[in-house]
């Protein structure tokens, strides 16, 4: 077995295969990127190795020579000639000649089905028909299943046929079945641990799942086969996603140096050139793509997808339309077109394109999920007010719109001044009460961890009911997403992802007290242990996090960078950066123009700035690895204090001393489990409500989801007669979770007490909108609020409606008579 492994890593069951069969040796050499040696061995093998020769020539981009080799195999009827026929069908498909590809593929299928004895079919024949069915998949729902069955049969007929297993994995992944794809690749890796194509498949799965390990895995693939074009293309695409354009170009060119016929490599090179404004390289790439595919639908689809990843949705639509013009049967192009039409609010056009795509490929989960969601949207309500259009589940539309529209108007006005830009209107905000639905709206699949998304003037987010109470602040989320409409638009959608996110988080903190992210213990630990990425790599922290918290760390870190920029250069610096991106500058040039610093200097300056900013907590928190349990004097002090909190009076005094020490160590700690909460409860217990309120305010001014702290602060302020402060706390509770009718009723009572009838009426309407147990009483209280506000007509309408539902409701009868009496007294004789 050792001899077989040394000769051929794919030969597991047959020790002598390599020595006896030049086809196996040629493929072994090709699998590790030694294409010249592989070609030499295949040529020396004579007629029996001509298909292997064609495969090697294909990998090197010598398509005419490969075509000739395959044709010779077919004419000679070599034992593996069916593989040559499959390769020629794939060639035709890649050229965009789908009719010729289908003709060839069907001939393979007919020959396979016509075999006199199905038990005599070889592994190569099974593989060939599987490849033929892959060519025939467009518009044929059964072709994918038949392809998978054929690949399974090929592997069963010959356990050394790892190519069949790899192709099965590729097909599973193409159909968004990552678990089964992983299984196929792992079977290969158990037999050949360094198989480059299987490792590439695992890397593609990890990239699909957004895991930070994808780049490391694809590098393992390249270590096994440095000339694996598809692996180089994947690295190029990942670098492009991270907006590392120079690196993307380098890897695309490396792929083309090996295989100048690689359409994905030319497409990625063209996409990078298009995004960076390199018109010469773009024209060269387009010309090369057109030579490969006279109607280069794949090229324009790749460009469209690159535009999407850079959030240039309108451009993506135009590019996808060009791709569809070239190939109206391209599921990929139709999908990009339809999805992005939906993202800019072209709902009917987007649905039409996705219907066409789904008819061609009913296995596409992205398209199916999105079409199912569009069916659900028909039951939503749309509320148009001013420049905003709110689309929400019917049972929540009234409640959510009465708060979100005024908030969005406030945000719109302030952001328009700050950025000297106004996005296209109406701004459409879609609410989803099922997080899976929001996820589908955002990326086509369930599982997205975000709370909201912005495509420019179209925003989507979870309703507060989609999450547990205290899980997020729906007001700050909406403000965050609307900010993207300004930063994307002002930069013509060229602002890097990390900077756009950082500006949105910063605007959250500016919007209202307590909104926006603050430094947490894990963040300080990661900073102390040098686990945070430098600014120049921050997009990777958003796209491919190395540990679960890194995405949120990257959002917060980007917002801190924005703060530093304003400290260094003033309020106009961030808008100036957006303009620089709009004008086509890349990040390094933007830094130099606006900040007067190169990228390395920015990294150094920001690192130093953060260590000054967080000097106190850094001293108190022992550096960890960014995601391990955290120690340090802050934690030990807190633990000692918590032990004493429930003790005797003397112990509680000692606890207070320790808690105050902990607060000095980490004065900006935002958590509701920190020193301020315990200090507040201790102060409340000893009757010092002023001290309790002061400690609670330290939480509610930094933690946008602190439900219990805001509720207690409202209670204590109301008890002290601070109605304004109590109302502020109650208002903050609504942005955490708006479905508690007691909060609305309390706020209405306090507002009426202060003659703030606008708020009182709004809150009485909110009580009704949350569907309280005693709906009749809620409607009566609304009528009272309307009457107190001077809206007698509105009050009478409400009372008449109420009495239709409950004719014997005495309080409503009395109030209606009272209003009528006042109306008569005020009438002229």
Paired tokens of 32: 């590790």
DSSP per position, 57-99: HHHTT-HHHHHHHHHHHHHHT-TTHHHHHHHHHHHHHHTT-HH
- The position carrying tokens 């199905």 is 118
pLDDT tens-digit series, residues 80-92: 999 999 999 999 9
| Per-residue pLDDT band at 211 (split at 50, 70, 90) | confident
Q: Is the pLDDT of residue 626 over 80?
A: no
* Average pLDDT of the segment spanning 44-60: 93
Coil, strand or helix at 722? coil
Q: Is the pLDDT of residue 96 over 70?
A: yes
Q: How far apart are CA 309 and CA 339, in angstroms?
A: 13
Q: Nearest CA to 266 among 275, 279, 255, 276? A: 255
Strands 380-385 and 452-454: unpaired
| Beta-bridge partner residues of 430 | 391, 460
- 8 Å CB contact between 796 and 829: no
Q: Is 721 left (phi over 0), alpha (psi -120 to 50) or beta?
A: left
Q: How far apart are CA 401 and CA 465, in angstroms?
A: 14
DSSP per position, 521-557: HHHHHHHHTT-SPPGGGHHHHHHS-SSTTHHHHHHHH
Q: Nearest CA to 170 among 187, 182, 157? A: 182
Confidence (pLDDT) at 631: 53
pLDDT tens-digit series, residues 648-702: 999 999 999 999 999 999 999 998 889 999 999 999 999 999 999 999 999 999 9
Confidence (pLDDT) at 606: 97
Q: Nearest CA to 367 among 175, 201, 227? A: 175
* Average pLDDT of the segment spanning 37-63: 93
* Average pLDDT of the segment spanning 732-750: 98
**DSSP secondary-structure letter at 447?**
-
Confidence (pLDDT) at 440: 87
DSSP per position, 236-281: HHHHHHTT-HHHHHHHHHHHHHH-TT-HHHHHHHHHHHHHHT-HHH
* Average pLDDT of the segment spanning 606-620: 94
More confident residue, 449 or 165: 165
- The position carrying tokens 């809620």 is 778
Coil, strand or helix at 769? helix
Q: Is the pLDDT of residue 398 over 50?
A: yes
**DSSP secondary-structure letter at 593?**
I
Which ranges constitute the DSSP H helices of 466-537? 474-490, 497-511, 521-528
* Average pLDDT of the segment spanning 196-219: 93
Confidence (pLDDT) at 13: 37
Q: How far apart are CA 769 and CA 784, in angstroms?
A: 17
| Per-residue pLDDT band at 305 (split at 50, 70, 90) | very high
Q: How far apart are CA 611 and CA 607, in angstroms?
A: 6
* Average pLDDT of the segment spanning 268-274: 97
Paired tokens of 110: 């007919």
Name the average pLDDT for the chain: 92
DSSP per position, 621-686: SB---SSS--BSHHHHHHHHHHHHHTS-HHHHHHHHHHHHHHHHHSTT---TTSHHHHHHHHHHHT
More confident residue, 361 or 266: 266
Confidence (pLDDT) at 542: 87
| Per-residue pLDDT band at 760 (split at 50, 70, 90) | very high
- 8 Å CB contact between 50 and 76: yes
Paired tokens of 227: 């000339």
- The position carrying tokens 């939480």 is 699
Q: Is the pLDDT of residue 629 over 80?
A: no
Q: Is the pLDDT of residue 771 over 90?
A: yes
Q: Is the pLDDT of residue 114 over 90?
A: no
| Per-residue pLDDT band at 447 (split at 50, 70, 90) | low
Q: Is the pLDDT of residue 402 over 70?
A: yes
Residues 6+ apart with CB under 8 A from 538: 498, 554, 557, 558
* CA 111 to each of CA 90, 107, 129: distance values in angstroms, whole numbers, following the listed order: 17, 6, 9
Paired tokens of 491: 């930069």
| Per-residue pLDDT band at 371 (split at 50, 70, 90) | very high
From 498-512, 532-546, 738-752, 787-801, the region with the lowest mean pLDDT:
532-546
Confidence (pLDDT) at 33: 93
Q: Is the pLDDT of residue 361 over 70?
A: yes
Q: Is the pLDDT of residue 630 over 60?
A: no
| Per-residue pLDDT band at 171 (split at 50, 70, 90) | very high
Coil, strand or helix at 609? helix
Q: Is the pLDDT of residue 824 over 70?
A: no
* Average pLDDT of the segment spanning 66-85: 94
Q: Phi and psi of 452, rounded to 5°?
A: -150, 165
Paired tokens of 283: 């024209």
Confidence (pLDDT) at 212: 84
Residues 6+ apart with CB under 8 A from 493: 310, 311, 312, 313, 314, 315, 456
Coil, strand or helix at 392? strand
Residues 6+ apart with CB under 8 A from 726: 713, 714, 715, 717, 718, 746, 750
Confidence (pLDDT) at 445: 64
pLDDT tens-digit series, residues 548-607: 899 999 999 999 999 999 999 999 999 999 999 999 999 999 999 999 999 999 999 999
Beta-strand (E) ranges in 295-387?
380-385
From 298-312, 438-452, 544-558, 744-758, the region with the lowest mean pLDDT:
438-452
Residues 6+ apart with CB under 8 A from 368: 358, 362
- 8 Å CB contact between 421 and 486: yes
- The position carrying tokens 């795509």 is 357
pTM: 0.88
Paired tokens of 160: 């050394």
CA 14 to chain centre: 47
| Per-residue pLDDT band at 822 (split at 50, 70, 90) | confident
Confidence (pLDDT) at 446: 63
* CA 321 to each of CA 298, 316, 325, 335, 353: distance values in angstroms, whole numbers, following the listed order: 12, 8, 6, 11, 10
More confident residue, 438 or 498: 498
| Per-residue pLDDT band at 735 (split at 50, 70, 90) | very high
């Amino acid at each position: 077995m050792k001899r077989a492994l040394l000769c051929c890593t794919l030969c597991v069951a047959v020790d002598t295969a390599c020595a006896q069969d030049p086809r196996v040796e040629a493929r072994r050499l090709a699998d590790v990127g030694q294409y010249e040696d592989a070609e030499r061995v295949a040529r020396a093998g004579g007629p029996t190795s001509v298909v292997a020769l064609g495969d090697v020539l294909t990998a090197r981009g010598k398509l005419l020579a490969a075509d000739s080799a395959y044709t010779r195999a077919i004419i000679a009827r070599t034992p593996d000639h069916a593989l040559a026929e499959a390769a020629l069908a794939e060639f035709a498909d890649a050229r965009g000649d789908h009719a010729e590809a289908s003709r060839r593929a069907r001939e393979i299928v007919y020959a396979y089905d016509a075999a006199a004895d199905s038990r005599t079919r070889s592994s190569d024949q099974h593989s060939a028909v599987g490849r033929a069915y892959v060519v025939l998949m467009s518009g044929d729902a059964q072709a994918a299943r038949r392809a998978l069955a054929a690949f399974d049969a090929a592997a069963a007929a010959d356990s050394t046929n790892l190519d069949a297993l790899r192709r099965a994995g590729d097909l599973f992944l193409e159909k968004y079945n990552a678990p089964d794809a992983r299984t196929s690749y792992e079977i290969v890796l158990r037999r050949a641990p360094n198989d480059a194509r299987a490792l590439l498949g695992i890397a593609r799965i990890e990239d699909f799942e957004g895991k930070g390990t994808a780049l490391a895995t694809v590098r393992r693939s390249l270590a096994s086969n440095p000339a694996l074009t598809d692996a180089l293309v994947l690295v190029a695409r990942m670098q492009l996603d991270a907006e590392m354009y120079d690196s993307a170009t380098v890897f695309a060119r490396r792929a083309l140096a090996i295989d100048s016929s690689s359409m994905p490599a030319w497409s990625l090179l063209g996409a990078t050139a298009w995004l960076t404004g390199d018109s010469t390289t773009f024209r060269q790439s387009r010309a090369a793509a057109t030579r490969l595919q006279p109607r280069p639908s794949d090229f324009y689809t790749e460009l469209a997808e690159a535009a999407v990843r850079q959030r240039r949705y309108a451009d993506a639509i135009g590019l996808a339309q060009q791709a569809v013009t070239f190939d109206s049967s391209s599921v990929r192009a139709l999908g990009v077109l339809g999805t992005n039409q939906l993202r800019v609010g072209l709902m009917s056009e987007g649905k039409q394109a996705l219907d066409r795509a789904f008819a061609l490929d009913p296995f596409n989960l992205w398209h199916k999920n999105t079409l199912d969601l569009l069916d659900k949207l028909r039951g939503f309500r749309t509320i148009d007010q001013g420049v905003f259009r709110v689309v929400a589940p019917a049972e929540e539309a009234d409640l959510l719109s009465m708060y979100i529209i005024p908030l969005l108007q406030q945000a719109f006005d302030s952001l328009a001044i700050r950025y000297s830009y106004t996005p296209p209107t109406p701004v459409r905000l879609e609410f989803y009460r099922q997080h899976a639905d929001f996820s589908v709206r955002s990326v086509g699949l369930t599982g997205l961890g975000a709370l909201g998304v912005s495509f420019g003037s179209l925003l989507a987010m979870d309703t507060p009911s989609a999450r547990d109470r205290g899980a997020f602040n729906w007001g700050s989320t909406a403000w965050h997403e609307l900010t993207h409409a300004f930063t994307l638009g002002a930069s013509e959608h060229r602002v890097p992802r990390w900077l756009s996110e950082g500006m949105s988080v910063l605007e959250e903190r500016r919007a209202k007290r307590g909104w926006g992210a603050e430094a947490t213990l894990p963040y300080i630990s990661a900073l102390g242990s040098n686990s945070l990425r430098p600014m120049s790599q921050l997009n990777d922290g958003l796209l491919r996090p190395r540990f679960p918290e890194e995405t949120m760390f990257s959002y917060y870190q980007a917002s801190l960078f924005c703060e530093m920029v304003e400290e260094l250069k003033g309020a106009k610096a961030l808008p100036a950066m957006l303009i620089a991106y709009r004008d086509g500058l890349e990040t390094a040039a933007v830094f130099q123009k606006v900040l007067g610093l190169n990228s390395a200097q920015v990294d150094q300056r920001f690192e130093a700035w953060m260590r000054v900013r967080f000097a106190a907590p850094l001293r108190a928190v022992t550096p960890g690895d960014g995601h391990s349990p955290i120690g340090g004097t802050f934690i030990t002090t807190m633990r000692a204090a918590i032990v004493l909190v429930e003790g005797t009076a003397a112990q509680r005094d000692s606890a207070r001393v320790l808690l105050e020490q902990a607060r000095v160590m980490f004065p900006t700690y935002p958590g509701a489990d920190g020193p301020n909460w315990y200090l507040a409860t201790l102060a409340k217990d000893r009757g010092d409500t002023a001290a309790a309120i002061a400690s609670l305010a330290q939480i509610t001014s930094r933690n946008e989801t602190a439900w219990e702290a805001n509720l207690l602060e409202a209670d204590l302020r109301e008890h002290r007669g601070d109605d304004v402060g109590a109302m502020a706390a109650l208002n903050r509770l609504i942005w955490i979770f708006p479905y508690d009718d007691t909060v609305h009723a309390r706020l209405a009572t306090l507002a009426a007490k202060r003659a703030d009838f606008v708020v009182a009426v709004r809150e009485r309407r909110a009580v009704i909108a949350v569907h309280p147990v005693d709906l009749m009483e809620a409607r009566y209280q609304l009528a009272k609020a309307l009457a107190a506000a001077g809206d007698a007509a509105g009050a009478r309408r409400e009372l008449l409606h109420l009495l239709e539902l409950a004719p014997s409701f005495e309080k409503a009868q009395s109030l209606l008579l009272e209003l009528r009496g006042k109306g008569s007294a005020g009438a002229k004789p």
